[in-house]
Chains A and B, each alone.
Chain A
Amino acid sequence: MAKLTYIKAITDGLDVCLGEDPKTLIFGEDVGKNGGVFRTTQGLQDKYGEDRVFDTPLAESGILGLAIGLAATGWRPLPEIQFMGFTFEAVDSLGGQMSRERFRFSGKRSMPITVRTPFGGGTHTAEMHADNLENYYVGTPGLRVVTPANPYDAKGMIISAVENNDPVLFLENLKLYRSMKDEIPEGKYTVPLDTAKVAREGTDITIVAYSAEVNESLKVADKLAKENISAEVIDLRSLSPIDTDTIFKSVEKTHKVVVVQEAQKMAGVGAQVTAEIAEHAIMDLDAPIGRVAAPDSVYPWAQVENDWIPNADDIEAKAREILNY
């Protein structure tokens, strides 16, 4: 066991994957000698060689197209897209190609590709470096979209993603990279790709969140606990598919729910969670479903981003509104 940051936990997980399966390949922009612009792949080229960990020309569609062709010839690709905003350049590879190959080939050919990409705001980046674009991808049949909210899950989930035989879009939160540490077991362990986690148990209200907003929600739960209000926090972990069972069980117990996301409100993850509860568990509720999300605007410039991103205060206000309904 060692105390590792979120980013080091991912590096550790990638190391396990490369060590276990000689068919795994890491590639993308700057991932080789430089170890990635965030150093997520630091040291891996030295350890596994340039054949396994290598830089590509600067073109995102090329990178994910390369992954598809490599998978077609027996490899297990782990491409990195440097920032999630850059996946716009590769939407066809994700939505038009790799996610559809199993279907096209009657289930007989697999695309065991894990596309890693950092996302999430609050770190004062240039434009297109912080956007939460998961709403675009969760509606893509054949593509799993997952995101860990802590270092322990980050390592366990990256290993599960790489072992999975379907394409996985693995979202790494930029703000969490170096702001969190966990005790991380050495070697291999896995965390399931398709189950939500009860991050904190409670009985009075359910807060459903994912990625950095899980931490914001936990802060709110701590604060409410001082007033003897017991909030349950659910970390979705998997954004597609969504583990609705865990949500329904919680709602059955608390009868109140707030759905939180950093992304804009229109459609997407929070809307889907809300709709699932409305469709299957509405009789368990004794208040409307509360939603906390970013405004439906473009992701803002750095100077106002912290006011724009939903934070613990916003979640607390919404939770109190629902609790007092």
Chain B
Amino acid sequence: MAKKTGQAIDFASIKATMSDPYKKTFQIVDKDAKIVNQELFDTFSDDQLVDFMKKMVWERALHEQTMNFSRQGRLGFYAPTYGEEASEMGSVSAFKDQDFLFPAYRDLPELIQHGASVTQGFLWSKGNAVGDDYGDQRNWFPQIIIGAQYVEAAGAALGIKKNGEKDAVSFVYTGDGGTSQGDFYEGVNFASSFQAPAVFMVQNNGWAISVPRKKQTAAETLAQKAVASGVPSIQVDGMDVLATYIATKEARDFAAAGNGPVLVETLTYRYGAHSSAGDDPSRYRTKEEEKPWFDADPLIRMRKILGDKGLWSQDQEDKLTEEYKDSFKKSMKEAENTPTQSVVDMLKTTFEEPTPQIKADIARFEAKESK
């Protein structure tokens, strides 16, 4: 017990104990592929286990192929997802079609799992408007202004509640850096105030470009940031796809049942650079720091679990990876064959009814583009 510091109030003790409910990270399979929660593990069928593995292999193949395209100069901005497969695929597997998704820029894989196409993912990166055209899907564009998606997700959650929808929630993602934004707190607090069905995902991948997690806050976990708003939360091993799925699913069920919002922090790692635009992690972190995370890789532990059950082999995985990559190559062809938007098309989307000034600009560009 810390020494009592004040005459009336023992702040030292309060500080030392306030993170106690968050001491234990929720986990089902640990980094050595040991099942630490057999009861929950047994709730998964073999098919489900294989399906999670397939999704993670899909995401990793998507990353690898995307980096190839990027190196070939065929893409624009891309935020690598390498290392975050369990966090992203585990959480998105808990979605229902009627759920709204407010992704950040590193969440293209979830967007695609929630209805967008791989081709659209590439088109978004290439800067083609078709990339954000989700039709009637409850998908929002990958947010660039970190935190803005949190307040918007609170609004969508309130809209869902006001619509009287009984089994829908608003899902939103940010990273560890995102939890430092004012909008993070405003979003969580607004959803709480209205007891609206929002599920706030924090993918703590350790790094906000070059700034490590520990510099974002002295709070022991990011999950506990929700407590101040009256929102229950959990920190999950984000390299454990099963734990991430269960935590997200139960958060969703809790919110959808009218109990108010929930926050889930997944502990994961950004293996690669912040983006494909020249970030070099060797400037700010060492290989030694990275190693434990590569050892904790979500695919390694699932490979072992499934292998022991005779449900998976490396051959099978390699074949699947090639199949996925072939399909991504087709998607890239499709993206490259998609007509580029003209300035006139774009100008027409500034207002529903173009203003006189925009009309004049449209006429000017029509003349230019018809040449």
B-binding residues in A (CB < 8 A): 25, 51, 56-57, 59, 61-62, 64-75, 92-93, 96-97, 102-108, 110, 141-142, 144, 164-166, 194, 241-245
Contacts and interface: CB of A to CB of B under 8 A. Distances in A.
14 contacts: A68-B151, A69-B154, A69-B159, A72-B140, A73-B155, A73-B156, A96-B148, A102-B349, A106-B130, A194-B356, A241-B358, A243-B356, A244-B356, A245-B356
B148 A65 contact: yes
A110 B352 CA distance: 8
A69 B141 CA distance: 13
A62 B351 contact: no
A104 B162 contact: no
Interface string B325-351: 000000000000000010001101111
Nearest to A79: B155
Interface in B243-286: none
A93 B148 contact: yes
Interface in B134-168: 134-135, 140-141, 145, 148, 150-160, 162-163
B159 A73 contact: yes
A51 to B, nearest CB: 7
A73 B129 CA distance: 21
Interface stretch (B46-54, B85-93, B186-194): B186-194
Contacts of B152: 65, 68-69, 72, 97
Contacts of B132: 104-106
Contacts of B346: 103
B179 interface: no
B356 A72 contact: no
B115 interface: no
A73 B160 contact: yes
B131 to A, nearest CB: 9
B163 A72 contact: no
A68 B148 CA distance: 10
Given A69-B155, A97-B145, 16 more contacts: A57-B190, A57-B193, A61-B182, A62-B187, A65-B148, A66-B154, A73-B159, A73-B163, A74-B163, A93-B148, A102-B351, A103-B349, A106-B129, A107-B349, A108-B133, A243-B356
Given A96-B148, A97-B148, A57 B189 contact: yes
A61 B151 contact: yes
B355 interface: yes
B352 A59 contact: no
B45 to A, nearest CB: 34
A62 B145 contact: no
B357 A241 contact: yes
A307 B160 CA distance: 51
B122 interface: no
Nearest to A77: B155
Which of B159, B162, B163, B182 has the most CB atoms of chain A within a 10 A radius of its CB? B159
What are the 10 closest A-B residue pairs judged by CB atoms, nearest first? A69-B155, A65-B151, A73-B159, A62-B186, A69-B156, A241-B355, A107-B349, A66-B155, A69-B152, A59-B186
Contact of A166 (B141, B189, B351): B351
Contacts of B162: 25, 51, 70, 73, 75
B66 interface: no
A103 B350 contact: yes
Contacts, number: 134
B100 interface: yes
B183 interface: yes
Contacts of A104: 129, 132, 141
Contact of B351 (A92, A96, A108, A142): A142
Contact of A59 (B100, B153, B189, B355): B189
Given A56-B193, A73-B100, A241-B355, A62 B133 contact: no
Contacts of A71: 155
A166 B352 contact: yes
B170 interface: yes
Contacts of A164: 352
A165 B145 contact: no
Nearest to B189: A57
A65 B187 contact: yes
Contacts of B349: 102-103, 105-107
Given A92-B148, A103-B349, A59 B155 contact: no
B186 A61 contact: yes
B154 A65 contact: yes
A64 B187 CA distance: 11
A196 to B, nearest CB: 12
A141 B350 CA distance: 7
Contact of B154 (A62, A75, A102, A103): A62
Given A51-B162, A104-B141, A68 B133 contact: no
Contacts of B157: 69
Contacts of A25: 162
Contacts of B133: 105-106, 108
A275 to B, nearest CB: 12
Contacts of B140: 72
Contacts of A67: 155
Contacts of A141: 350
A102 B160 CA distance: 21
A110 B349 CA distance: 10
Contacts of A105: 132-134, 141, 349
Contacts of A96: 145, 148
A70 B145 contact: no
Contacts of B348: 107
Contacts of A194: 355-356
A97 B147 CA distance: 12
A99 B135 CA distance: 19
A255 to B, nearest CB: 23
B355 A68 contact: no
B359 to A, nearest CB: 10
A61 B159 contact: no
A108 B183 CA distance: 26
Nearest to B134: A105
